[in-house]
Structures are given as C-alpha cells and as structure tokens.
A and B are shown apart, each in its own frame.
Chain A
Amino acid sequence: MNTGNSVNHHLFVRENKAVSFSDETLEKVRSLIRRYPEGRQKSALLPVLHIAQEELGGFLSVDTMDYVASLLNLNPIEVYEVATFYSMFYLDKMGKYVLEVCHTGPCAICGGEDVLQHIRDYLHIETGETTPDGMFTLKEVECLGACGNGPVMQVNTEFYEHMTARQVEKVIEDLRQKQGEEGTSKGWAEQFS
C-alpha cells in the first residue's frame, strides 16, 4: 500500500504511556490466539490490532503496537510492518468519527466525487484533516464493496449508502447530536463468539 508518491511519511506517534486491555478483552485475545495452531499466534495479529485500535485510543501508537507485540510474543517490527501495510490501521490520532468516502470508479460515476466535495465544503476540511473540535476526520478510501448502493461512506466501519449532499449533511448532524453517547454497533471484540 501507499506506494508511489502519496504524502504519507508514516510518522509513528509515541505517547509514552502504559496501555493495556481490560481483563475481559485479554480473555478474548487469548481465545483468538487459540484459533490458530500452536506457535502460530502471529496469525491473530490483524484481529488483535483491530481490537487495539478500537479500544486503545482510536489509532495505533507505538505504545499500543509494542503492547500488542508483547501479547503475541512478536518483535515490535513485525507489528509495525503490518500496521503500515493495511489501510484500516491509523497511525495518527483521528477524529471521533472517521468519514471514509469511497472514491473508486462505481461510486465515482454515481456522484461520489460530489459527495466528497460537499463534505469538504461543509466541514471546511480537506481529505486527511480533522475538524478543530476533534469530531470528524475525512478520508478518501478505495472500493468498499457496496457498489450497488453507491455513493458509499463508512463511519467507524458502519456503512452509509446512497449518499447525496443532503444525506451526508444529515449523517454528520446526527453524529454531532450523538456526541458523548456510545455507538450502538458492536465492537470488534464482540464480533467474535
């Protein structure tokens, strides 16, 4: 990922603070590790990083990545190289809500580019930026696999489909109202039985 000349310097953020999962999450992590053969605990890295990002601050700081490495008995570099490869992992602090707008072909021909521009104008931020109140980060992402319902946007991995300029304003305002409340959708750890 992120080959070519995209502006992404992968500056890791180190917060110098101790991070750890709750006991409940730790138990979930242990059960995830047991899904893979003995000695193959590295396989649990992607699911555990999803949980870590969600539960430990909304992005992967060096502190978080080192903690995950210790849980899975990996060298930190093994976690860094994976965290930098996959586009769902954030290496920097994000807004409370990350608006990920699909800009790939099928969404683009159905008005996705207009929706994207409208969000920029409405929130006064460019792609990659966060609103000053820390509420919204705007990201452009590649195909989300919901092309029949385009234009599509994901907010913290929840799908919003058939977006129009008007719809997207409504989504943003609804999220603003929800401020402080917990989301209703299940978190990563709860997805696994």
Chain B
Amino acid sequence: MLIFDIIVTGLMMGAFYSLMAVGLSLIFGILKVVNFAHGEFFMVGAYTYTLLSLNLGIPLWLALPCSFLLGAVVGWLTERLLMRPLYDKYTTWSVMRDEYAIIVTFGLSLFLINLANQIIGPYPYRGPQLVDWSRIEIGPLMISGHRFVASLLASAMLAAIYLFVRYSRWGKEIQAVAQNRLGASISGINSTRVSSIVFSLCGGIVAFSGGLLAPLFHAYPAVGIFPALKSYVVVVIGGMGSIVGSIAGGLLLGLLESFGAVYISYAYRDTFGFIILMIVLLIRPHGLFGEKVREV
C-alpha cells in the first residue's frame, strides 16, 4: 500500500507545515506585511523545548507550553519594538511600509540567528521524543511514534486556533482589524492591542511547532530557515491572511512533496513548493482561499 503510505506521510508533514504557517498568515492578515523573522521564532521554540528538557530536566509536557510562552514573549517584543511605525500615518515608512517590514524583520532574523550562535553555540541539539514507542502500527501502516503524536497535537492546536479566532472575543477583534483597521478602530476596538495579541499568538504558535518538531529538525541557530521557507510557500498557496487557507495549503504542500519525492525526484522535493509559489503568485496572487490583492 505505497500510495496509502505516501498520503499519510504527506498529511502528517502537512499538519506540521500548517501549524508553522498559520502564524505568518495571521500576521499578514492584520498588518499586510510578511514577517521574515518567522523562522527564528521557530528556533526559539526548538531551543526552549530542547534545552529545558535536556538540561533542566523539565518534563516534556511542560516544556512545550514553555516554548509557546517564550515564543509569545519574543513575538510581543517584536511587535512592541519594531512594528509600531507601520501604523504611523505620516512618516516616510508609511509610504514604504513593505520595505520597512522586510528590512526590519530580515535584520531581526539575522540578529536572532547570530544571538543563538553566540550564546548557545552552533552545535545541533536533538530534542527528546515525546513518546517512547519508536514505531506504531495502524493497520498496514508503520508510523514513527513521535511523528504520530506530534501530528495529533498539531491538529489539536490548529483546531484550537481556528476556534479561538472564530468565536472568542479577541478572535473577533482580530477578524475585524484584518478586515478593516480603520473601521475596527472606529467601532471601539483597540487595534494596537489586537496587533500585540496577534504577534504574541503567532510567536507562540510557531515556537510551539518548533518545540514539537525539535526531535525531527533538531535545534541549532539556522534551524528556522527551512520552516520559514515552507511557511511562505504555504501562506502563498493558501492565500495570505486566511487560517483555513493555511491549513489547506499546508496539507496540500505536504501531499505534493511526499508524492513528488516518490514519483518525480527525491533530490528536488524542496523545489516543488517554490515552483508552486511562483506559479500561484503569478496566476492567482491572492492564493486559493485568501483575500483579493487590491493593487496588482
């Protein structure tokens, strides 16, 4: 049952991709900018999980929420210190906001990578597996135990994020600001606070996925580059700013890669996503589910 195997592997990887990307998508929804330091939030989570559990002996189920918390703090700081000029209406940067966001987040990305390199060192740490079972058999399938548990957790997290944004009060405020920042402000929503919430939430989610995937990706300073690139592909496929879109985009990318790796070329599995990204941006810039790009 090769095909069944490919589908399950693809979907599990896809769930991870979705979890990595959903934060990027939310930030884009609120601020209309791409966070190029996204991968470094992932790194923060991977290091937190790995170092807490290996060095301090903190139990794994507690280390994961710690990843989330530290990621949220980093996200909050990023928004507080670097993203505020984007809302100022009368500065040079409000005209060149895309450039500003790219420069600052790119700088932040370099900064965090080198900070980790300086403090923790360039050597990779392997994160401990969540469960002891190395293989689970489900019918004809053999799945690595950690991957299976991690993909369940990722799905649960995605569902929680979806419900949070859809139904909670803060979530509704996020939706309102994403639709129309000015309109939301007029109806009494504190849009600055919403941006803070979104950034903390996104930092937390990405860092959580970093912790979750630390046994697979390990923790080292540049670990975030790969997940960040995957997240860009996912949000572009799914449409920037849409949660359902990034979930669908992630699953699609996971399936595409696992099919492509088997039937097209294993060495080129990482390029498929980029090719799709370029094609989608050129043909349908708002993605499969995303908002329309106003200016083309």
Do these two chains interact? no
